[in-house]
Amino acid sequence: MKELKYFNVCYHGDIVNNKFSDYLSSYSNNSFDYNEHDELIDLINTKDIHVVITKYNFELLKQIRVLNKEIQIIAILDQLNDTHLIESLELTQIKFIQNLDSINEFIDTLKEFIKNIDSKNSNIYSLKNDFVYDSYNKTLFKKNMLIPLTKKETLFLSYLFTNNNKAVSYEEINEKIWEGAMTQDALRSLIKEIRKKTYKELIKNVSGIGYRIDL
């Protein structure tokens, strides 16, 4: 991922194993490890840090956000719950990961971070009727209440938000969400359920093409 070389990454030495640190060293010209919170704060104050990978600590995360509103954060925790996800709305630009053991999830997160840094976009989308969507953690809220989504609903909404600048075709939806096994009834049923949980205008039908998210 050559784009990473233009960004400064700071990570906690105890949670990033050799596999991940080797990856960061290979693709980032400037990666810094730290062990104590004070070291991290000093790095943020003295270096132009773009990405922080750290253990979950809400007070530390708030301190980071006060120092820099743009830093992208990966917070590693043992067990994710609704409280953490609600915190993501306050902190912004944060991805929660349970146990950093998937290199593919790690790479996908970094790619999304880089895309948002370049475009100066937020991962938090304020929608109509008091709904909010967090694209990093793939969660939907209304007035700070988490809206439960099925696996298919989560995949579908995530794909629409990822491609929010265009209409997503039926063919793409079939391939990405149903892995080639979609039926029109299944698609209509999925959209109907999401609209019931949110509002009708959130998902727009583009005649003859497919669907798009209404932002």
Same-domain status, 19 and 93? yes
- Per-residue pLDDT at 24: 78
Rounded CA separation 78/101 (Å): 12
The number of angstroms, rounded, from the C-alpha of 3 to the middle of its chain's C-alpha atoms is 18
CA gap 144, 130 in Å, rounded: 9
Report in angstroms the alpha-carbon separations of 57 from 17, 37, 54, 79, 167: 20, 10, 8, 13, 39
Residue-wise pLDDT for 126-181, tens only, equals 999 999 999 999 999 999 999 999 999 999 999 999 999 999 999 999 999 999 99
Could you give the CA distance from residue 207 to residue 25 in angstroms, rounded to a whole number? 47
Report percent pLDDT > 90 for the chain.
74
pLDDT of residue 206: 95
Domain ranges, residue 166? 148-213
In this structure, the answer to whether residues 98 and 55 fall within a common structural domain is yes
CATH number at residue 29: 3.40.50.2300
What does the block give as tokens for 148?
A: 């439960």
Positive or negative, the CA dihedral 213, 73, 11, 2 is positive
Q: Residue 47: inside a domain, yes or no? A: yes
**Secondary structure E strands in the chain:** 8-12, 30-34, 51-55, 72-77, 94-98, 124-126, 131-134, 139-142, 145-147, 168-169, 203-206, 210-213
Going 113 to 114 to 116 to 120, the CA torsion angle's sign is positive
Count of structural domains within the chain: 2
Distance between CA atoms of 4 and 53, rounded to whole angstroms?
A: 14
6 and 104 inside one domain: yes
pLDDT digits (tens, 9 = 90+) for 108-117: 898 899 889 9
* Helix axis angle, 18-27 to 103-119, nearest 10°: 30
Q: How far apart are CA 199 and CA 188, in angstroms?
A: 15
- From 81, 105, 122, the end of a domain falls on 122
